[in-house]
Amino acid sequence: MRELNKWFLENRREFPWRVDPTPYKVWISEVMLQQTRASVVIPYFEKWMALFPEVLALADAPIERVIKTWEGLGYYSRARNLHAGAKQIVAEFRGEIPSRREELMSIRGLGPYTVGAILSFGFKKRAAAVDGNVTRVLARYFSVEENVCKQAVKRKIEGHAEAVLDKSEPWITAEALIELGATICTPKPRCEACPLEKGCLGKERAELLPIKNEEKKTILLKRAVIWLEVEGKVLVKKGEKGKVMADLYEFPYFEMGQDVWVLRKIEREMAGLFGMQAELVEKLPRLVHTFTRYKAELYPFRFEAKRLREMEGYQWVDRNKLEELPFSSGHRRLLAL
């Protein structure tokens, strides 16, 4: 794989996490990069490192500040796991990220890929880091005609990944495989630009590989979202622990099913839930919010009421302090309106 290493050193993209790649930097960047484009991650990574430059700073930070810093990246359980993992590293490893695979695997939120990346890029050890990009590269290169979602096939791919690592600088090969999958051996490959083209066994069927399970269908949701304001205070709700939107704030909303409700029905539902009368100020533009397997169409309405009433499970927040709270992405866009 010397040609791959050479290609990587000449063509690799410049990213802040590749400058002095400490185990902590690798850990944070790899979690951020999961299912997110590298160009999007850069400002988030730089802000994170400014606020939480090392494990102890992250462990000591309030969870709301961590979530707020993560706001916009989605998959907020990853931010919660980073926070919990940092606390665990402080408690069990004196604040130092361990360099043994078994110990790394014991840390909350760390799976085989992230552990491999930390060992390889952070500690310069011989370890494969197999993500979706690497799986695609190796399934094509070795012409793996089996479903890569099966555990036995995953182990086969991992074996291939370990076998191709350079003897003297294995961490370069490990990162080069990721880079190749991200830039050249993409779902629509550019085989003519690939440094591994000559030895690729699956080149003729590249666009058909890897073989995977069919993707789950997206579930459509239609929600009436309520901005309810009383004397400069706005009603919000914090996501419950264990739920998809845990620790994130959202405005009250109603599930409308398949139909978009008329205003009269929304007002009836509001009166029933909140026990108060409110006047419509404006109907805001529709927003689309995607998360996990869901696509939520948000239909926002802005109401004002004259009297503030406390409601269990909800809280009133000064309008000018809403920006300080971490919101789910769809509701954060509503706040921007």
- Could you state, in order of their start, the residue ranges of all structural domains in the chain? 1-125, 127-214, 219-336
The pLDDT value recorded for residue 274 is: 86
Domain 1-125 has CATH 1.10.340.30: yes
Cβ–Cβ under 8 Å, residues 213 and 300: no
Upper half-sphere CA count for residue 17 (Cβ side, 13 Å): 27
Q: Is 275 left (phi over 0), alpha (psi -120 to 50) or beta?
A: left
pTM: 0.81
Long-range residue pairs from 276-280, CB within 8 A, at least 24 positions apart, any chain: 276/305, 276/307, 276/309, 277/305, 278/228, 278/303, 278/304, 278/305, 279/303, 279/304, 279/305
CATH of domain 219-336: 3.90.79.10
Residue 189 predicted with pLDDT over 80: yes
Cβ–Cβ under 8 Å, residues 314 and 237: yes
Q: What is the pLDDT of residues 56-82, one digit of tens each?
A: 999 999 999 999 999 989 888 999 999
CATH topology of domain 127-214: Endonuclease Iii, domain 2 (1.10.1670)
The pLDDT value recorded for residue 8 is: 97
Residue 191 predicted with pLDDT over 80: yes
From residue 205, alpha-carbon distances to 75, 154, 156, 214 in Å are 33, 20, 19, 19
Instruction: Output the CA torsion sign for 266, 267, 268, 273.
Output: positive
Identify whether 145 is a catalytic site residue.
Answer: no
Q: What is the pLDDT of residues 148-158, one digit of tens each?
A: 999 999 999 99
The pLDDT value recorded for residue 55 is: 98
**Active-site residue, from 3, 14, 30, 192:** 30
The pLDDT value recorded for residue 235 is: 95
Cβ–Cβ under 8 Å, residues 111 and 138: no
Measured in degrees and rounded to the nearest 5, phi and psi for residue 211 equal -85, 125
> How far is 27 from 259, CA to CA, in rounded Å?
44
> How far is 218 from 234, CA to CA, in rounded Å?
32
